[in-house]
Amino acid sequence: MTIESTNDNNSTTPAITYSECYRLPFLSLFHADCMEIMKQYPDKYFDLAIVDPPYGNNLSGGKSANNGWNNKIDWNKCDNGWNLTIPTPEYFIELQRVSKNQIIWGGNYFANLLPPSECWLIWDKGQRDFSLADGEMAWTSFDKAMRIKTLHRAVANQETKTHPTQKPEKLYSWILSKLATEGMKILDTHFGSGSIALAVDKANRLDKMNLHLTACEIDKEYIDKAIKRISESIKQCTLSF
């Protein structure tokens, strides 16, 4: 099964102006700036936004050590500002306008732009005093208890890496199991490697969740890699667990 470029003529969704859109029954992927896409949706259109925007930190130090990555990563994009430019305050305003609830990875970097929350998600990487952080934090808008997922970095590194800040599919599957409900419309503004799409497909096929993901990615190179990854997973009819 392949992902084709097509027009979004679904009468239940807004008419969207976009550069390019790849579609599957569970996925609408836009090659566009997420701000341009979000402004075309009405208020609270999405049930949940799960996003992983640039944190503004420099990852180029991983270029020499490779940090266990089993694929070539364009770390120069980090050096040239790809991972140094954090979203503007307008991004967070627009994100909260178009979605009912939000999960924002790196929320600790944006604390001055987000309201207080008791429901933080913590990815414990099962390592201590490594050259990178022991874990990562996601701010959420939910009125629930804080939750921690221990997922060892070695397990995450078993996945094919196509993006410098790629998060594992298992992490997104955990998020969906905790905070997603059947039939949700989900938004991802920084699609990257496409791990979230694999988790959505898994939830739909195995758990009959009937989720739909709308995603944006501004870098065509990462779109192509993500599409290949998703297509191969669907073709095999299996997902990594």
Q: What angle do CA 149, 52, 192 make, to 5 degrees?
A: 110
Res 139 pLDDT > 80: yes
In the sheet with 4-5, reading across from the earlier edge strand, the strands are 4-5, 21-24, 27-31, 212-217, 185-188, 46-51, 99-105, 135-140, 121-124, 147-150
Biggest alpha carbon distance in the chain?
52
Cα separation of 36 and 185, whole Å? Answer: 19
**pLDDT surpassing 50 at residue 129:** yes
For the chain, give every domain's residue range: 20-217+227-236
Indicate the CATH number of 20-217+227-236 among 3.90.1300.10, 3.40.50.300, 3.40.50.10420, 3.40.50.150.
Answer: 3.40.50.150
What span, in angstroms and rounded, lies between the C-alpha atoms of 51 and 36? 16
Give the contacts of 95 (CB within 8 A, at least 6 positions apart): 38, 49, 51, 102, 104, 187, 189
Q: Output the pLDDT for position 9.
A: 43
Residues 23-80: pLDDT tens digits? 999 999 999 999 999 999 999 999 999 999 998 765 444 433 333 333 444 434 444 4
Whether residue 19 is predicted with pLDDT greater than 50 in this model: the reply is yes
Q: How confident is residue 157, by pLDDT bands cut at 50, 70 and 90?
A: low
How confident is the model at residue 80, as a pLDDT? 41
**Residue-wise DSSP of 23-64:** EETTEEEEES-HHHHHTTSPTT-EEEEEE----S---TTHHH
**pLDDT confidence band for 159 (50 / 70 / 90):** confident
Amino acid found at 175 = I
The pLDDT of 184-206, averaged and rounded, is 96
